[in-house]
Structure 1
Amino acid sequence: MPHEEDLVSFAAEEPAPQARQTSPSWKLLIVDDDEEVHEATRFALHDALIADRPLRLLHAYSAQQAAALIAADPDIAVILLDVVMESHDAGLKLVRHIREDLRLADVRIILRTGQPGYAPELKVIRDYDINDYKTKAELTHTRLMTTLISAIRSYEQLHAISESRRGLELIVTAAAGLMELPAMSAFAEGVLLQIASLLKLPAEGIVCAQKGSPIDDAASPEALHVVAAAGQLATYIGQPLDQLAEPEIVSAIHDCMVRKTHAFDPRYTVLYLHDRKHEAAVFVRSDKTLAPTDRQLVEVFAANVSSCFGNVKLVERLNFIAYHDPLTRLSNRAGFLAELQAAGTSGATDQIVCLLDIERFTDINNSLGHEVGDQLLLAISRRLAEACKGCRLAHVDADTFGLVGPRSQLAPERLLELLSVPFAAGEQQLQIDAQFGFCRILGSEPGETLYKRADMALTHARLSPQTRYMHFTPKIEKRTHWRLDVIRNLRRDFLAGRLAVWYQPQISLQDDQVVGLESLLRWPDTSGFVHPPAVFIPLAEDSGLIADLGAWVLDQACATFQWLQQAGRSPRRLAVNVSMPQLRAPDFPQSVKRTLAKQAMPASALELEVTESILVGEPVVVLRNLHALRSHGVLIA
C-alpha cells in the first residue's frame, strides 16, 4: 500500500496548470486491465518531455471505459492499447470503434500486448489501422520513449494537416455564409462565431469594432464603435469603443487600427479587416500564442472576410434604402409592413395601428416650396418620435405617417392635441390638420392585413369631411368592398361606352328661348337603372377616374354644340362641370383649348362651372389655370 500511495502522489506531481497553459501537454492514453502496467508506465514517463512539451497521462482499465474517455476527450495524441482485456479481442474492437465510429484518424495507436498469440503481428498490422505493434516484454524505457517520440511527431504532422483542412473548409463555408448576411451587425456577429470556431476558443471576450457608428450616421466616421460582442461585453454593442470597460481590448484594437495590420500576442489576437472604404478589427482573447498553423489560418480567414466586408456594407446600405425613407430616415412602407408583420404575429392585443394623413400637404409644397415641405415632415417626425417613444414610427407616403404601439400612446385625442401646436418649418410656423385611421391588433393578423384595415379606416375618414378619425370595423371593410365594386363597374362601363351625357336646358324667362345647356354625366346600366351622380361622382374622384370622365364629358358636350350649330339651333353657351383633379392638372388649360379647336367651338360659348370648395385645394395652381382659361375667352361660373 505505501508503494501505491507513492504512485498516487507521483501522479499528482504532474505539470501544474500554469505550466500547461504556457506549454500545452501531449495527451497519452494507457488502456490496460493490469494496474501494474499503468504504474510502470507512469513511473517510466514521469517528467518526460517530448518536443519541449510534457505528457499528460490518461488511464482506462477496459475497452469500454477507454471508448467513453476518448469520446469525451478526442484530442489524444497517442494510445498505448492492450489487446486482451474484458475479451480476447477487446483492444482490436476498440481500434475499429476509434477509426470507424469516432472517425479519429490523427491519433496514433500503439498495440502493446503481453499475449502475442491472441493477436499475431502481421495479421493485426494488415487488418487493423494501428501504427505500431509492441510486446510488453520488449518495451523497455528507451524503446518506449523512442516509440512515443516517433508517434507524437507523426501525430503532430497529421494533426496540423487535419486542422489546416478543417480551417480551410470552415473559411470557405464561412465566407459564403457571411456574404449572405444583410446587415453589418449580423456580419460582425458571424465573424465572431466563425473565428471562435476556427481557433476552438469560447466566444466570451471577443469584440468586433468598426470605424463609424452602426446606428448613428451623424457620429464621427473615424470614431470606433462596437458592432458585435459576446458574453458580458454584448451590452456595449452600438456604443463607442472607448466606453468599453476593458482597457486591454480598447488599446489593442486602437493599436491594430493605427498600424493597419494583425496583432498576435500571447494574451490575444487582433484581426484587421478592411477594404477600400471601410475598416474594422476583431479582438480575440486567448491564453496562448497561436501556433503557426492557426496563425496562417487566421490570416487566410481575415483576407476572406475582408473581401466580404465592403460587399456587406453595400448590401446593408441597399437594405436601408429599400426599407427606409431617405428624408426622415424612418421606416418606409415596406419597412412598416415588416414591423406590422412582427407585431401581428406576436399576439400582443394591446397594440394598435395608426395611419396619419396630413391634409393639404401638396398645397404647402406648391405654395411654400418643397424645402419647407421637407422641413415640415422632419418636424412632424421628430415630434411623433419624442411623444410616442414606445411606438414604431414610419413615413409610409409623401403625406402619411404610420405608427404601431400601445393604445394608450396612440389615442386619437392625444394625437390630435399633439398636432395642434404649430410646427416650425424654416421661417414658417405651420398649423396642420390631420386625419387618422386606426386598426386594433387582435392577434395573429398578417402585416398586410393590418395595413389595409388601417388604410380603409383612413379612407373613410377622408370621405367624411366632419370626421377626423375612424376605427376599423367589419362594416367599413364591407363598405370598402362595395366602393371597389362600384369603381370597377364604372370603369368597365366607361371603357365600354355605356356612359351618357344628358343636357339640361337653360330657359330665358323673358322669351322662353333656350339660351344655354348644362352637360350632366349619367351612368345607366344594362338593366335601365341610372346610378345617382351623388354616389358615383365622389367615387370617381377618389379613384382618379374623374379626370378621364371629365375630359370625355367636355369632348362630348363640344361635339353636341357643333352638331346643334350645324342645325342652326346652337345655344349661346354650353355649361360643363369641372372637378378638382382636372383643375389641379397643370396642362388643363391646354387640354380645353385642344378640345375647342377639335370641335370648332368658340371659347366664349363654353362655360366651366366650378365650386368654391375647389379653391381650397392647391389654390395657386387652380387660380393660375382659371386665369389662363378666362384669358382665352372661356366663361367661368
Structure 2
Amino acid sequence: MSKSVSHSEDDLVFLDKTVRVSGDNKSGLSKDVWQVLIIGGDADVHTATTFALSNVEIQNRPLAFLHAHTAQQAREVLAQEAHVAVILLDIDADQQDEGLQLVHYIRDVLHRAEVRIILRTDQPGYTPGIDAIQQFDINDYKSKSELTQIKLFTAVTAAIRSYEQICTINSSSSGLDMILRASTELMALQSLEEFATGVVTQIARLLGISPDGLFCVQEQLHNQENALFVVAAAGRFGDLINHPLSSIEDASIDRTLTRALKERRNIYGREFSALHFTGNASSNFAAFFRTGRPLTEIELRLLEVFCSNISVGLSNITLVTRLHNSAFYDSLTKLPNRTRLKEIIDDSLSSSNDLPSTLALIDIDHFAETNDTLGHQFGDLLLLSVATRLQSRLGDHLIVARVGGDTFGVLGDDIQVNPAAILAQFERPFSIDGQDVQLSATVGLVRLSEHEGRGVEALKNAHIALKRAKFQQRTGHLYFSRNMGIDIRERVNMMHALRTAFEERHLSVVYQPQIDMATRQPVGAEALLRWTTEDGSMISPNRFIPIAEYSGLIIELGEWVLRQACQELVRIHRLGFTDFMISVNVSQVQFRHPHFLSMLRHALHDTQVPPHCIELEITESMAMEEPDALIKLLDQITATGVSIAIDDFGTGFSSLSHLQKLSVDRLKIDRAFVTEITDSSRGSSIAEMIIQLGRNLELDVIAEGVEDERQAAILTELGCPLGQGYLFARPMTADALHHWLSAPK
C-alpha cells in the first residue's frame, strides 16, 4: 500500500492509488457519465472527494461531479439535473435537522426515489437515528475519518450499482406499463391500416423518439414473387403509404426488411431498427424505424416484448380482416358480394344525394355450359375478365359486385347503368388464354328513385326483373314494375300455404280410371294430386304444381303420391283386380333428383307392390332432354319392372330416332288432339299419326280427355286401344274407386 496523505484526525484520508474498475455495461440509462452531487459547506471536502474519485470509472462510465455548498444550492441543482446518481451529503450534529429536511425534500417533494444518498460527518461516533435512516431511505452513513479512498470508492460504487438497478427496474416497469396501455389501445382498432398506424406511433412513444418509420405487409404478386407494400408511415416516409416499398429511394431499407422477414428476426443498426413480427398469421408484416442512435439494452428488451404483443394483435386483426372479407367480398374477383352490395344500396337510399340511381343485375347466359365444357379454371378466368370489363368500361363512380355464381350487380347513376351500355360490353368476345369466347347476358333493373324499402328489397326486385327477362327472351332486359312484385308475392304466399296444406294433410290423391276402348272394362287408373282448402274450394294443379317444382317441395310430394298409389294398388289387387295398373306422373325436378332411382326402389320394396303394375309418366319435353343420361336412367327404371309412358305426346318435338332408343312402353295422346278429331276442318290427322307411330314402334297408346262417344268411336276406328276421360269416369277417391270397380259395367 502506498503512502497515505493526512492533514488531521478529522480530515478525509485517501490512498494515492488510482482506481479503475470495468463493468459489463448493462445499464439502461442514456447518460454517458454517472453524476455525483457533493453537498457541504467545506470546500476542501469537495476538492478532496473530487480528487479521490477523478480517475474512477464504474461500469465503463466515468463520474461527473456537481457541487452545492448549501441546502438551497442543492435544491437548485436537483431541479436542473434529472440524472443524479449519488448524493454525498455532509452533515454535522448541529446541522442534522437541516440535512434531514433536505433528504425529506429529495424523497417526498421531488420524489427522487432512485438517487442514492450517503451521509458523511466529521464527528466520530455520531449517527442519525435508525428511524430517520429508514424513513428517508438513507443508503449509507460514514464518518469522514474512516473514508479511505478504497472505502469511498466502495461506497460510491455500491450506491451507483444500486441506483442503476433501481433505474432499470423503473424503466422496465414504466416501459411495460406503456406497452400494456399501448396494446390495449391497439386491440380496439378494427382495420389493418388503423392498427399499423397505431404501431408506428406507439413504438416511437416507447423509444422516446419522433415517429419516423413505416409498416409493411408482404404480398405475393401475379408472377409468384413477394413484394412489400407500405400500409402505414410517418415522418420522412409519410408519402409512401399504399405504395410498394421498392419505390423508396433508399433500397437498403427494402433489403433489410426482406432479410428480417426471410430470417424471421429483428435487425438492429446504430440508427435504425427493422422489426419482424412472428406468428403464422403475422409473419408477413415488418416495420422499419429511424432511431438516430443505438438502442439501450432495456429498450431492446422492451421492444421485443412489444413486438410479441403486436404479433398477437396482428394475428387477431388479420383474422378479423379475413372474416370481414369473407363476409363482404367475393373471394375470386375481390368485388363486393351480395351482402356488401345490400349495405351499399342501404347507404345510397338513406343519403341526401338526389341523383337518380339504378341497380342492374347481369346474368351471363348459358355460363354453366361454358364452365362445364371448358373447365372451372377457365370459367373463373372468364368471370374475372367480365368483372374487369364492367369496372373499366361502364364509367367511374359506380359499384360493381358479384352477387352470385355468374351474376353481377352494378349500381350507379341512370346514364352509366342502362341496358344498352351494359349489353354493349358483351358485343366483343372475351380473350382467355388466347381463346376468344363470345358471351351474351340478360339484365334485370330497378330504379331506386321508384323503390320503397331497403337494399334487400331492391335486390329482390332486380332478381324478379331478371327472371322475367330470362323467361321472356335471353340477351334482353326488363325494368322492375310493381305488378311483378304482386305476382311474386302471390307465388310466395301460395308456396307457404302449399307446404302448410301438405303438413296438415289437406292434400289428397284421386284416381281416374283408364278403359279398354273395345270392351269398356277398366285396366288401370292415373293417380292425380288434389288440393282442397279449409273452406272446401279446390286449387287447380296447374297453379300449385309449378310452385311445388320451383320451391323443391315436389320432391317430398312426389314420393308421397308414389307411395300412396303403390299402397292403393296393393289394396285393389286384394279386391281381385290383379291386372290393374296405376300410372303416376313424375315432374322434371323429381326425375333429375340424384336420389330418384333410390326413392323408387325403396317405395316398391316397402309397399311390396308388383312393379310391372306401376307406370311412371314423363312429359315429351323431358324425354328429349339430355338423351344419353335419360337412356341410362330409363334403362335402370325398367330394370325394376316399372313401365314408362310419355305424357302429352305430340305437343313437343320428338326425334323418332331418339324415341326408338328409349325404354318406353306407352304413348299418351294429348287431350288437345282428342278434342280436334271431331273438327271437320282438321280431322284426326295428329291423333291418327300417333296411333300409327305407336303401332310401328310396338308401343301401347292411350288417349286422354275422351269426353263423348263420337270421340271414342273415331279413336276405336283408328285403332287406339285405351282411353281415359269424363266419358268413362271422373277422378275419384280410393274408396269411390273400390265401389266403381265392384259395380257391374
Q: Distance in 2 between matches of 1:24 and 1:438?
A: 72
- Single out whichever of 225-234 and 489-498 deviates more from structure 2: 225-234
Q: Which residue of 2 aligns with 1:341?
A: 343
| 1:311–1:327 Cα change, 3 Å | closer
Distance in 2 (alpha carbons) for counterparts of 1:370 and 1:603: 45
Q: Cα distance, 1:494 vs. partner?
A: 0.9
| Contact map agreement 2:363 2:443 (CA 8 A) in 1 | yes
Alpha carbons of 1:199 and 1:529: their partners in 2 closer, same or farther (altered >3 Å)?
A: same
Deviations 1:29-54 (A, max 9, x none): x9xxxxxxxxxxxxxx9xx9999799
1:238-257 paired onto structure 2 within 5 Å: 238-247=242-251, 249-250=253-254, 252-253=256-257
Contact 2:506/2:533 (CA < 8 Å) preserved in 1? yes
Structure 1 residues 430-481: Cα deviation after superposition (integer angstroms, max 9, x where no partner): 5343343647499999xxx5245413541464256238444486x8777665
User: 1:398 matched to which residue of 2?
Assistant: 405
Q: Say if 1:332 and 1:397, in contact at 8 Å, map to a contact too.
A: no
The 5 Å alignment of 1:193-208 reads 193-208=201-216
Q: What amino acid is aligned across from residue 240 of structure 2 in structure 1?
A: Y
| Alignment partner of 1:377 out of 383, 391, 409 | 383
Query: Residue 491 of structure 1 is aligned with which of 487, 493, 499?
Result: 499
Write out aligned runs for 1:282-301 (5 A): 282-301=287-306
- Tell me how far 1:322 sits from its aligned partner: 3.6
- 1:31-110 matches, within 5 Å, as 99=111, 106=114
> Within 5 A, what are the aligned runs for 1:166-181?
166-171=174-179
Number of the residue aligned with 1:538:
546
Helix, strand or coil: the match of 2:230? strand
- Equivalence for 1:523: 531
Instruction: Note the C-alpha offset of 1:523.
Output: 1.3
Q: Distance in 2 between matches of 1:224 and 1:450?
A: 38
Indicate whether 1:230 and 2:229 are aligned.
Answer: no
Within the candidate set 595, 598, 609, 1:599 is matched to 609
Report the TM-score, using the length of structure 1 for normalisation.
0.65
Within 2, Cα distance between the matches of 1:554 and 1:508? 24
2: CA distance, partners of 1:585 / 1:282? 56
Alignment gaps of 5+ in structure 2: 1-29, 38-49, 67-71, 89-100, 120-127, 142-154, 636-643, 645-658, 669-745
How far did 1:26 drift?
Answer: 9.6
Matched, 1:416 2:415: no
What is the identity, as a one-letter code, of the residue corresponding to 2:617? Answer: E
Distance in 2 (alpha carbons) for counterparts of 1:602 and 1:368: 43
Question: What SS does the aligned partner of 2:421 have?
Answer: helix
Tell me how far apart the structure 1 counterparts of residues 292 and 130 of structure 2 sit (CA, whole Å). 45
Q: Distance in 2 between matches of 1:159 and 1:148?
A: 16
1:609 aligned partner, one-letter code: T
Supply the distance in 2 between the matched residues of 1:599 and 1:325 (Cα, whole angstroms).
54
Over 3 Å counting, the alpha-carbon distance change for 1:251 and 1:595 in structure 2 is closer
Q: Are the equivalent residues in 1 in contact too, given 2:398–2:413 (CA < 8 A)?
A: yes
Unaligned runs of 5+ in 1: 1-22, 31-44, 81-88, 112-119, 134-146
Report what 1:42 is aligned to. none
Alpha-carbon offset, residue 610 of structure 1: 4.5
Q: Which residue of 2 aligns with 1:458?
A: 463
Cα shift at 1:499: 0.6
One-letter code aligned to 1:600: P
% identical equivalent positions: 27
Q: Which residue identity does 1:270 align to in structure 2?
A: A
Quote the Cα distance in structure 2 between the aligned partners of 1:56 and 1:541: 97
Aligned equivalent of 2:146: none
Q: Deviations over 1:486-536 (max 9, x none)?
A: 322211221232212345567899887778755443211111122243432
User: Aligned in 2, Cα 1:428/1:260: closer, same or farther, shift over 3 Å?
Assistant: closer
Contact 1:437 1:472 in 2 (8 A): no
Alpha carbons 2:253, 2:288 under 8 Å: kept: yes
Please give the alpha-carbon distance, in whole angstroms, between the structure 1 residues aligned to 2:419 and 2:478. Answer: 7
What SS class does the counterpart of residue 458 from structure 1 fall into? helix
1:212-259 CA deviation, whole Å, 9 max, x = no partner?
A: x43x54254444443442356344345332211345634554565677
Which segment is superposed worse, 426-435 or 564-573? 564-573
Distance 1:544 1:428 in 2: 37
What is the Cα deviation at residue 285 of structure 1?
A: 0.8
1:268 aligns with 2:272: yes
Hey, what does 1:582 align to over in structure 2? Answer: 590
Asked if 2 retains the 8 angstrom alpha-carbon contact of 1:344 and 1:443, the reply is no
Contact 2:215/2:285, CA 8 A, preserved across alignment: no
Q: Is the 8 A contact 1:330 1:393 kept in 2?
A: no
Which whole-Å deviations, capped at 9, do the CAs of 1:385-442 have from their partners, x for residues lacking one? 4346644544443343345555554444433333454545675735343343647499
Query: Using a 3 Å threshold, how does the CA distance of structure 1 residues 279 and 602 change in structure 2: closer, same or farther?
Result: closer
Alpha-carbon displacement from aligned partner over 1:581-634 (angstroms, at most 9, x marks no partner): 12322444564566567532537854323447x96xx74687446754684445
Q: Give the residue type in structure 1 aligned to 2:297.
A: P
Q: Output the CA distance in 1 between the equivalents of 2:410 and 2:83.
A: 56
| Alignment check: 8 A CA contact 2:196 2:232 kept | yes
Query: Are 2:221 and 2:227, in contact at CA under 8 Å, matched by a contact in 1?
Result: no
Hey, what's the Cα distance between the residues in 2 that align with 1:98 and 1:356? Answer: 74
| CA displacement at 1:167 relative to structure 2 | 2.6
- Tell me, in whole angstroms, the C-alpha distance in 1 between the residues paired with 2:109 and 2:221: 58
Q: Provide closer, same or farther for how the CA distance between residues 98 and 359 of structure 1 changes in structure 2, counting only shifts above 3 A.
A: farther
One-letter code of the match for 1:579?
S
Counterpart amino acid of residue 608 in structure 1:
I
What is the deviation of 1:199? Answer: 0.9
Q: Which has the larger displacement, 186-195 or 517-526?
A: 186-195
State which structure, 1 or 2, has the greater radius of gyration over its C-alpha atoms.
Answer: 2
Secondary structure of residue in 1 paired with 2:425:
helix
3-state SS of the aligned residue for 1:233?
helix
Q: Is 1:604–1:635's contact at 8 Å kept on the other side of the alignment?
A: no
Partner of 1:141: none
TM-score (norm: length of structure 2): 0.57
Q: Quick one: which of 200, 203, 225 aligns to 1:192?
A: 200
Q: What is the alpha-carbon distance in structure 2 between the residues aligned to residue 27 and residue 376 of structure 1?
A: 72
Preserved contact between residue 487 and residue 543 of structure 1 (Cα < 8 Å)? yes
Matched, 1:608 2:618: yes
Note if contact 2:582-2:615 (Cα within 8 Å) is conserved in structure 1. Answer: yes
> Offset at 1:283?
1.5
Deviations 1:539-585 (A, max 9, x none): 22221112222333344445556656656497888462x43312322
Aligned partner letter, 2:591: L
Which segment is superposed worse, 565-574 or 395-404? 565-574
- The 5 Å alignment of 1:101-180 reads 106=114, 157-171=165-179
The range that moved more, 507-516 or 237-246, is 507-516
What amino acid is the match of 1:607?
A: E
What whole-Å deviation, never above 9, does each CA across 1:323-360 have from its counterpart, x for those lacking one? Answer: 48887243575xx5246436635854666655444455
